[in-house]
A and B are shown apart, each in its own frame.
Chain A
């Protein structure tokens, strides 16, 4: 994992703002430091400003305010072709009138490289993505996955230090997408390049990244390694956006260190970990991951009754929709392991969870 040190930052967004029309800020006060060799993903719903950030870094959009630094140098006034940043587009953007070989040799040609050197580098880049036999094909003769590999090879062939990827796997089917995720990760690790990756797919973000920046409404809501992001979300948006999540809203009744007592809408009280809450009396939203709930257990301070509303068989686990504390959308995942508890729709059982797995966050 890369160490984040202000001086070692390879890419830095410094109080960057962006507006297209002078009325709405698409990016509001973005501060982000990425160190060399790091794989950082910008994750967020569409319209959250993540692609705009990428375009500003590539040089296709100018920042309305603030600085973007590359290797400590402001690149605000450097045109895109002098930034030396590789880029993979969602549409691949392979030049349709050129063969695969010509596509790859294009960035080397415009750099004035001699033919023999070009051919060698093109060959090496194609071998890297296992597409060595496709040199003389046209992009239209390739499948989506193959085009994706070529686009990746083209963005790497001129050996950039930084590669940007704008939802590069968005157009592929699920299986191919998973395969390419590994491939991209492997290549970026092998070459030691810095990657800034944009996606709206949380699985992709979690599996590939060193760190994930969750975007919402033009701001980074949380910047953290994948496990932190999932297990320790800072706020309700992140908790909701990453993975499945049960929400119970209530009011803070008392505080004891980092454990708070929350009074729920039905008058009952539960204990939760204070993560992002106000003072006593403030509203809060408690987030509990479905897999952290024990069914049939009566232990602990958070044990309560639950009525089974719906069961969905999913093979490796069974998804149960319960009524807990009056919330009818409360979901629990029961692993389909040997001797697991068999629930019946309509029965009443007990559920419980550790106070440290219930995170009291800001109210929505």
Chain B
């Protein structure tokens, strides 16, 4: 007993038999195992770093780093040539809101001539075009004709194209002449800077992204709810049936999982289109007039139906894994204690499945927020989600910075929801299987 007390008192200075500090000895004994464990996970770590962390970092960078107006990078030599140097100096000397004077136009013309030499007029124009449509051609034609212009350059330029006078253009050029910009994030929430540099909403007919974010959120919540309603009884059935039967049913749940996503989506197209199986059946049964076939696809309805079906297993499996180990004697105990079957379900069974509901809902919600193929195929104009627009900017408009900004906002939103979930339900209550 006395020994024990002394030991506790000098807890920090315990030593091994030969006088080494105990902690150091323990660390040395475990070091070898730790090294081996580390080498085992090293390939995975490298894989994640290269294929996940680095691309995400690049994406995040690209959404704020857009040097197209001030730097030209040679594709092969990686050599960087500064562009629009004179205009950049003018912007530095004159604060926001200064009326462009002759000096400004002189700088612009000299820069345009330089652009022509390095053949960078397209690149610089594109960067301006992101924020002010129609600017690319202005730059290409401007660069072509700049060498022939005579002073005073202000008059000459405006004569060449009246757009050069546009204060908005000058505002955009000013913002583009610094390498890092938040303007893509502004664009991603339907905001822009006016000629004075104040943040304003874009014209009504160009407000797309906020609506799409809201729709994505709304549809994802709806799909999550629908999968929950459909999956709960199925998971319960799977968990309570005898093993042999439940395995059979489980195959039915997993079968769509093993089928290509594209095949599943196109089969929904076959079912839902206006000349499709469902409409034909309803017309055949006389429920529907041939002339008034219902539009089941290329709208929100189609997106919701197809995605609910496709994401259903992601809800069933976590629910099943939580329900399977719930001992039937809990409900029996509740019943014997006087609870009706509904009370026993509500007070005893359901609370024990909450971790599964949380996991399934989080899984389905996060998947559907970023879903691409299905809304692209069956969504039409009303049923597309934000990911479709991100893809559009990646593949068609080639405005990668905007795509990156949209994707970053999406990522941020999901992280916030994840944080909220952790605060409300607790992440340790999550059970994926």
Q: Do A106 and B334 contact each other (CB < 8 Å), given the known contacts A81-B339, A97-B351? A: yes
Between B330, B343, B344, the greatest number of chain A beta carbons within 10 A of the residue's beta carbon is seen for B330
A112 to chain B, nearest CB (A): 10
Which positions 94-110 of chain B face chain A at CB distance < 8 Å? none
Q: Does A224 contact B (CB under 8 A)?
A: no
A89/B348 in contact, CB under 8 A:
no
B327/A91 in contact, CB under 8 A:
yes
Q: Does B335 contact A (CB under 8 A)?
A: yes
A154/B329 in contact, CB under 8 A:
no
Q: Does B218 contact A (CB under 8 A)?
A: no
Q: Does B34 contact A (CB under 8 A)?
A: no
Between B330, B333, B339, B344, the greatest number of chain A beta carbons within 10 A of the residue's beta carbon is seen for B333
B331 to chain A, nearest CB (A): 9
B221 to chain A, nearest CB (A): 26
Q: Which residue from chain A places its CB closest to the CB of B348 in the assembled complex?
A: A95
A106/B339 in contact, CB under 8 A:
yes
A58/B336 in contact, CB under 8 A:
yes
B337/A110 in contact, CB under 8 A:
yes
A89/B335 in contact, CB under 8 A:
no
Q: Does A220 contact B (CB under 8 A)?
A: no
Chain B residues closer than 8 Å to A79, beta-carbon distance: 335, 340-341
Q: Does B338 contact A (CB under 8 A)?
A: yes
B330/A93 in contact, CB under 8 A:
yes
Chain B residues closer than 8 Å to A83, beta-carbon distance: 336
A247 to chain B, nearest CB (A): 39
Main secondary structure of the interface of B (DSSP, over half): helix
Chain A residues closer than 8 Å to B336, beta-carbon distance: 58-59, 80-81, 83, 85-87, 155, 164
Produce 1/0 per residue, A319-339, CB < 8 A to B.
000000000000000000000
Interface residue tally on A, bucketed by range: 20 to 34
Which positions 193-210 of chain A face chain B at CB distance < 8 Å? none
Chain B residues closer than 8 Å to A301, beta-carbon distance: none
B342 to chain A, nearest CB (A): 10
A158/B338 in contact, CB under 8 A:
yes
Bound Cα distance A58, B331 (Å): 13
Between A58, A59, A87, A158, the greatest number of chain B beta carbons within 10 A of the residue's beta carbon is seen for A87
Q: 4 nearest interchain CB pairs?
A: A107-B337, A93-B333, A87-B336, A93-B329
Give residues in B with beta carbon < 8 Å to A. 327, 329-330, 332-341, 343-344, 347-348, 351-352
Known: A81-B340, A93-B330. 13 other contacts (CB 8 A): A80-B335, A81-B341, A83-B336, A84-B338, A85-B336, A86-B336, A87-B333, A93-B332, A95-B334, A95-B348, A106-B347, A107-B338, A158-B337
21 residue pairs bridging A and B, Cβ less than 8 Å apart: A59-B336, A79-B335, A79-B340, A79-B341, A83-B336, A89-B333, A90-B329, A91-B329, A93-B332, A95-B330, A97-B351, A106-B337, A106-B339, A107-B338, A110-B338, A110-B339, A111-B338, A154-B337, A155-B336, A155-B337, A158-B337
